[in-house]
Structure 1
């Protein structure tokens, strides 16, 4: 059985305003559902370990699918989110892929987490897959390869688009724009239509654009895992 590490945030509130944040539920659910259906085992990790908050905005009726409700009503799934591993408890050799979920909270705890960066780098160096969706792509920003270069440099990478952030009215609330920082790291930023599912794979780096893209990322990750047999 192949193992996949799903990364979630510990941040429950915007540091600069009274607005709740956390994991965008669907970005975990639609990825996890695809990979578990294929028989892959999933573990959850967060920068601090323990509880990950769910962004209440992701639980609004217009955001939730039937699949989201199934997972949100599943105590086993919710218990896993309340007791995530810490990076110190993770051995990269145990995992064939890592997946960074989104939600605005990740903007404050993913980019500078050196332990998670090391885990992701080791998974990639071992022939595994590094993947992300939406704001989770900020987790890719500072991962370096064995040569000390940014992993995403010169690779096609997707992440939450500037136009999508502006449409939400949150472009001034975040510390930086995901699209801009991906470009600043030398990535070849690519996107589809705003809010439509879009994912891209480039040299075992798989990334998706927005909350609709978790399943699309999963399918590309599965395809790569199967081709590596």
Structure 2
């Protein structure tokens, strides 16, 4: 059975301002909807396991579309993804055909230096699997290293949440680093489209999306790559 591992953040708030962070819900649900429609099983993992906070902004009335409502109303999704996510130690990489790093501002705190998740992702990739990520979740790619210690994304084509999009959020000075800058500093070839428009980049078995609007597109590109 084809199975995908979805990585979610545990980090619940900004550290410099009184504002909640966490998972941006649609980046998990819109991707997972594509998996569900193609009968692909998913598991959820987070750096610490257990509870996954949801950014309240992603639950606003204008964000709760049919797909978000479908998943957020589903007790099994809330329990498995948000209540009792797996720990990295629970994961056997060979069980998965792909890994997907979902975003949300929380990820910039607990994804980039998580070597356990980086190792799992590289094992999936080395087994012939796919690494994918969207929006701020692309910072999870920073923890993935090649056997010689170099950054996995060095020289690769990708996208992710842009400096301009962070500026529109008015959070440039409140995140520990900017995702776009960090990807470039790691040697990646970063491309982008207009703010908050769909943009998906496929570089072999690496698939990335720029923003929440790209989560479905990353899922669709993953389906194409699996076949």
What TM-score comes out, normalization by structure 1 length?
0.97
Partner of 2:193: 192
Partner of 1:106: 107
Mapped to 2, the partners of 1:21 and 1:189 lie a distance apart of 25
Partner of 2:212: 211
Partner of 2:7: 7
Q: Does 2:158 align with 1:138?
A: no
CA contact (8 A) 2:142 2:153 kept: yes
Displacement after TM superposition at 1:188 (Å): 0.4
Mapped to 1, the partners of 2:15 and 2:45 lie a distance apart of 22
Mapped to 1, the partners of 2:149 and 2:95 lie a distance apart of 23
CA contact (8 A) 1:48 1:86 kept: yes
CA contact (8 A) 1:155 1:203 kept: no
Partner of 1:18: 18
Any stretches of 5+ residues in structure 2 without a counterpart?
Answer: none
CA offsets per residue over residues 199-218 of structure 1, 9 Å max, x none?
11102111000011110000
Mapped to 1, the partners of 2:36 and 2:152 lie a distance apart of 27
Partner of 2:221: 220
Partner of 2:65: 65
Displacement after TM superposition at 1:157 (Å): 0.8
What TM-score comes out, normalization by structure 2 length?
0.97
Partner of 1:201: 202
Mapped to 1, the partners of 2:161 and 2:128 lie a distance apart of 26
CA contact (8 A) 1:125 1:145 kept: no
Q: Secondary structure at the match of 1:43?
A: strand
Any stretches of 5+ residues in structure 1 without a counterpart?
Answer: none
Displacement after TM superposition at 1:142 (Å): 2.7
Equivalent pairs counted in the alignment come to 226
**What does 1:36-185 align with in structure 2 at a 5 Å threshold?**
36-80=36-80, 81-185=82-186
Mapped to 2, the partners of 1:193 and 1:84 lie a distance apart of 33
Mapped to 1, the partners of 2:202 and 2:148 lie a distance apart of 21
CA offsets per residue over residues 129-175 of structure 1, 9 Å max, x none?
01100000000013112343211111111100110000010010000
